[in-house]
Structure 1
Amino acid sequence: MKFKSMIKLGLTSVAASLVLVACGNSANESSRTDSLNWMSNTTLTTLDPSKAVDVTSDQVLYNSMRGLVTPDKGNKVDLAIAKSYKITNGGKTYTFTLRDTKWSNDKPVTAQDFVYGIKRSADPKTASQMAYYMANVVNYSQIKMGTMSADSLGVKALNDHTLQINLVKPQADFLNVLALPVFYPQVKSIVDKYGSAYGTTSDKMVYDGPFTVTNWKGSNDAWTLAKNKDYYDNANVKLKSINYTVIKDPQTALDEYQSGKLDQTLLAGKQQVTTYKNRSDFYNRKGFMVQYLSINQNNIPELKNKNLRRALSLAIDRNALTKDILGDGSFAARGLVPDTLAYKDGKDFNDYATVKDATTGNLSEAKKLWAKGLKEINKTSVSLSIMNNNDQTSRAVTEFLQTELEKLPGLKVTAEILPNNVASGRSLKSDYQLSVSGWDPSISDPISPLQTKVSTSSINTSKWGNAMYDMYIDRSNNVDATNPTKRFDDLVNAQKVILNDQGIIPLIQKAQPELIKSNIKNVKYLGNGPIWDFSHAYIK
C-alpha cells in the first residue's frame, strides 16, 4: 500500500475583485524562457528513494532520478537507464543492459549501484514502506522475516552494464513496478558518507535524472530542480530550472499566479473552477484517486444483506455530488479502478469492467431494495455512521451523503468528522461502519487497487471477502500472469464481482483542475506517481 498526500483543497470562494480581473484579462505570459515557477500544496519530506511515500517526494525524485524505466501514460513504461532488456526463464528472469550515463558527481551509474539501491530498499533496517513491491523478488520474503540477509536478494550485476533480477514467479506488472523509487540505483559511498542524514537535504544526495535538487534544507518550503549536465539525455532537456514553492492556501496561490509569480496553480472548489473553466490556460485532468464508501460488514451485521448494500449505493445521486457539491471536475467513479489507468484495444478498462447498477443512483429502486432488505432481516430501521476527514471538502461530501442516505425510510445516519490522522488510524484498525475511503495507485496497473480487496489483504479494512474475486486475482497473478489478454480479463471479472456484490460503493474519481500559462509546452502529466515530468518541457 502507498499512502499518498492527497490534494485536500477546500471549497474556497474567490474575491469579487479578483473575478473581475480574471474575466477581463488572461494571466500575463512569463518573460522567462528557460525556468518555471511551480507550486506544491504539500511539503517535500525526503530525497531518499528507499523512504519516499508521498506525492511530493515522488514528484521530485521522478524528475531528479532515473531508474531502469520511467512511467508513461496508461499502463505503459519507457526505457530510462536501461537501454534494452530481455525476459527469460518463463518470465522469472529480467536482464537489463544499461546505457552509459553519470551521476551528478561525474561518477558512472553502474549495475552495482542498482544492486545496492534495491537491496538497501529491501533491507528491513532501512524500514522502507514501499519495499513490499519487491514481494516477488527471490528471497525477499525471507529477508523481510529476518531469516536471510538483504545480500541474498535475487538481484545481481553481471558486469558494470548488465543487471539481472530473478523472480519467484512471473509478474505481469513488474516493469511498471520498476518505475518506483525503491528500485532506483543508489551510491553506497554516498549513503555511507551521510548516514542517517542521507536524502534529508538536497546537498546530501547525488542524482542521475534530468534535474538535480538544490536549495532544499530539509524543512524549508522551497526548492529548485536544476538542469543536470551529466544526464544521459541532457541535450533534450530544455529548462534550466523549475523553482518550487509550497503554498497551502489555494487563494494565495491563485493570487501569485495572477501576479505572474507562478506559472501554474491548482484550483479549489466549484466557484474557482466555474470562474476559470473557459480560459485557455485552464486544464482539468483526470487523477487516479478513486473515492468510495467502504462497508464494514463485521461492524454492521445488517449490511451483510446485499439488498441493503445495493440500496445505499442507489440512493446516492452522483451527479449532484460531482456537480453541486464538488464542482471541480471530479466525476462519478465507474469502479474501484480509475478511468485512464489501463486500456485494451483502445478501450478503457472500465468500458469492460463497470456495472451500471452499482455505480449510479436510482432512488425509487433504492427504496424498493431497502424495504426488501429490511424485511429479509426482520427489522424496520437501521442506524449507521459515516467516517471521513475534517477538511472543508470532505465535510461537505459527508454531509451530502448523510442527507442522501437518510432518504431511505427507517435509516438514521450519523457523520463522524475526524482529523485525517485519526480517521486514517481508525480505518487501518477497521474501527468504522461506513468510511469514505480512497486509493491512489502507485503503479499504472488495475492490480494496484484490486489487490487491496483480496480477502487476506491487510489493506482490506472492511474485511469484505469473496472466493470468486480472490480466484480471479490469483489467476491474474499466477496462471495468467504471462498472458496479457487473459490477465486483463481476470481483472475485469474481479471488478465485476465486487461491484455486483456491492462490496464497495464507488463515489467519485478525483480531478486536478489548474491554471498553467499557455506558453508552457510538453509538461507530461501522469495521473499518479510523478504527476509532472519536466524532462521535455519548454517555454515557447
Structure 2
Amino acid sequence: MPNIGGSFKALAFALSLGVAACGGGTTDTSESLRRGISANPDSVDPHKVSSQWENIVIGDMFTGLFTDGADATPVLGMAKSYEISDDALTWTFKLKDAKWSDGVPVTAQDFEFAFRRILTPETASQYASMLFLIKNSQEFYEGEVGADELGVKAIDDKTFEIQLNYPAPYLPGILKHYTSFPVPKHAIEEFGDDWTDPENIVVNGPYKLVQFRTGDFLRSVANPEFAGAEDLCFKEVIYYPYDDLDAIERYIQTGRLDINNAFDGQKTEELKEKFPGWVRTAPTLQLTYYSFNTDLEMFQDLRVRNALAMALDRDFMVNEVLTAGYQPAYSFVPPGTANYNGGAQVYWADWSLERRQEEARTLLKEAGYGPDNPLEFEYSYRSTDDNPRVAPAVQSSWMEIADWVKPEILQKETQVQYALLRQGDFQIGDGAWVADFNDPKNFLYLLESATGVMNYGNYNSPEYDALMAQSDRERDLDARAELLRQAEQTMLDDMAVIPMWFAVSKNLVDPSLTGFIDNADDVHRSRYICRDE
C-alpha cells in the first residue's frame, strides 16, 4: 500500500522504482496456471464489473497508469513517470511505448476515452462514483457539463493529465484499480458491446482472453505485445468459477487446481494436514457487513436496526464457525487501514450478549412488535466461503430475542446476491468489501448518498455527506482522520449497516509456486507467479 503519510514527491520516487515481471522460479512454457475463482464473471469489461473474482481475471488482462506489484503495492504500469503540481490537484503522466494486443499503440487518448466512458451513465458502471474525486466528474456523470470539462485530458499521444477536486495522495491505489484501466477505443467502436468476446477482445496487459465458457472456465494466453511477455512463467492461465468448497478439495487432489481464492475456514487445520503447505491466511482489509433495505418501512425505524444489529452473537460466529484470525466488527473501517486511527464504534460494543439481547427485545417492543405483531423479515446470504454455515447462527441470534422475531434465511449464488443488493431487491442482505486502495475513504465512501448502487441500503445522511466532503478538502492527515472518524461514528449511530467481522484472506496455493505474496489487498497477479521445479 502507498505510504501517504509522507510527501507527494517521496511517494512519486518510491512508485517509480517498479518491480520485475516474474516472482522467481523457472519459466515453463508447457504448463498452465489454473486458478479457482469464487463465481462466474458477469463481464470482462473493466468498466462493468465490481467483484473480487472478476478482478482476478481482468487484472491479468489490463494495465492502468499504475499496476499491482507482486505484493499489490502500486507501481508504475503504462506510465513511465509522473509529476504532481504544488497544490496536488494536477497529476501529469508520461506514457511508456506500449501496444494493444493487436499491435495498435496505447496512447493518452485511450485513457481519456476510458475515463469519459466509465463516467458516462449509459455505461452503467457500478464503480463510477469512486472516480468522483476527478474534477467535474460528478457533474459530467449527471449531465451538467460536457466531456471537455471533465478533468482528464490527453495533452498529446504520450502525455495524460488528471485534475482533481481535492488532493488525493491515495490516487495511485485508484489508478491501479480496474475502474481506471484503459480500454481500446478502436475495438469498442468496431464491435460495440461485443468487444469483449474472445474473438474481438483487445488488451494491454500480460494475458489475453481466448476462451470464455460461461459457468465452466475462462482461458487467457500470454499477450506477445506486452513488454516482458517473454519473462512470464506461465504462457496460459485458466480460471475456473468454483463455489463448491468441497469440490475444490477434490480438484486439488486430482491435480486440477494450482490456486483457489477461498476455502472452508472451519476446516483450516484439516486442510493443512490434507494439503501440506497449501493453506495461506493473512491479515487483509476486508469487512463483512449486512445491509438494510431502508425502502422497507420496518427498517426505517432506528430502533429496529439497532435491535437486529446488537443481538447478533459475533463472538460465537468468529470463534466457532469462521477462520482463525477473524475479528468481530463493531465499526466499519478495518483496523490497520492507513491514515486512520479508528476510534468509532457502536455504543453497545462492550455490552454482554445477554444485555444486548435484552435491550434488543425492549427496542422492538417500543417499535410496536410483539406476539400480536411479529417482526418477520428475510435475510439473504452468499453461497460462497463460510456464509452458509454462519447463516443459521445469524438466524438463531435473532430468534433468541423473542419468539415473535421470525427471520427467514435465503441462500443465493454469490453473483446473484450482489446483483440483488445493487437492485435493492432484498430485505437484509449479506455482503463483503475488500479494499480497493488502502485508505478509510475506500470503505466510508460506500455510504455516501452519491455513491449509487454500491450504497446497497440507500443510506442518505446530509451530516455524513458533509463530513466526508470536508475530509476530502482537508490536507492535514491527522485532521482528515478525525473528520473521517466523525463520519464513521455518524453512520454507526444511524446503524446504516450491520458490521459483522473483519476477515483474513484465505487462499489455497500449491507450495511449488513462487511469487504469490500474501498482502492486505489479497491481490495476486498471475504475471508474478512461477513454479519452482
Tell me the TM-score normalised to structure 2 length: 0.79
1:75 and 1:87 mapped to 2: Cα distance? 22
Residues 1:385 and 2:377 aligned together:
yes
**In structure 1, what is the equivalent of residue 4 of structure 2?**
none
Moved more, 72-81 or 151-160: 72-81
Matches within 5 A, 1:117-516: 117-146=114-143, 149-150=146-147, 152-201=149-198, 203-209=199-205, 211-217=206-212, 219=214, 221-234=216-229, 237-266=232-261, 268-270=263-265, 272-277=267-272, 279-286=276-283, 288-295=285-292, 299-300=297-298, 303-305=301-303, 312-327=308-323, 330-340=326-336, 342-344=337-339, 349=340, 352-353=342-343, 355=345, 358-359=348-349, 362-367=352-357, 369-370=359-360, 373=363, 383-389=375-381, 391=383, 394=387, 396-409=389-402, 412-417=405-410, 419=412, 427=421, 434-454=428-448, 458=452, 459-460=454-455, 462=457, 468-478=463-473, 480=474, 482-500=475-493, 502-516=495-509
- Is the 2:266–2:322 Cα contact (8 Å) retained in structure 1? no
Moved more, 119-128 or 60-69: 119-128
| Alignment gaps of 5+ in structure 2 | 1-24
- Is the 2:35–2:260 Cα contact (8 Å) retained in structure 1? yes
1:43 and 1:100 mapped to 2: Cα distance? 34
What is the CA distance between 1:539 and its match in structure 2? 1.8
What is the CA distance between 1:95 and its match in structure 2? 0.7
Return closer, same or farther for 1:130/1:450 CA change in 2, 3 Å cut-off. Answer: closer
1:227 and 1:456 mapped to 2: Cα distance? 39
- Is the 1:291–1:509 Cα contact (8 Å) retained in structure 2? yes
**In structure 2, what is the equivalent of residue 24 of structure 1?**
none
2:446 maps to a residue whose letter is: T
What is the CA distance between 1:198 and its match in structure 2? 0.7
**In structure 1, what is the equivalent of residue 47 of structure 2?**
50
Return closer, same or farther for 1:75/1:170 CA change in 2, 3 Å cut-off. Answer: farther
Identity of counterpart residues, as a percentage? 21
Return closer, same or farther for 1:461/1:261 CA change in 2, 3 Å cut-off. Answer: closer
1:302 and 1:132 mapped to 2: Cα distance? 25
2:429 and 2:238 mapped to 1: Cα distance? 38
Matched residues, number: 498
Moved more, 516-525 or 417-426: 417-426
Of 497, 518, 525, the residue aligned with 2:511 is 518
Per-residue CA deviations over 1:164-212 (Å, capped at 9, x if unaligned) read 12234444543332223342233333333333321121x4223322x22
What is the CA distance between 1:248 and its match in structure 2? 4.0
Per-residue CA deviations over 1:432-473 (Å, capped at 9, x if unaligned) read 664434434444432232123236654545465656533431
- Is the 1:119–1:151 Cα contact (8 Å) retained in structure 2? no
1:204 maps to a residue whose letter is: N
- Partner SS for 2:113: helix
1:330 and 1:93 mapped to 2: Cα distance? 40
1:533 maps to a residue whose letter is: R
Of 66, 90, 100, the residue aligned with 2:97 is 100
- Is the 1:521–1:537 Cα contact (8 Å) retained in structure 2? yes
- Is the 1:314–1:361 Cα contact (8 Å) retained in structure 2? no
Moved more, 211-220 or 456-465: 456-465
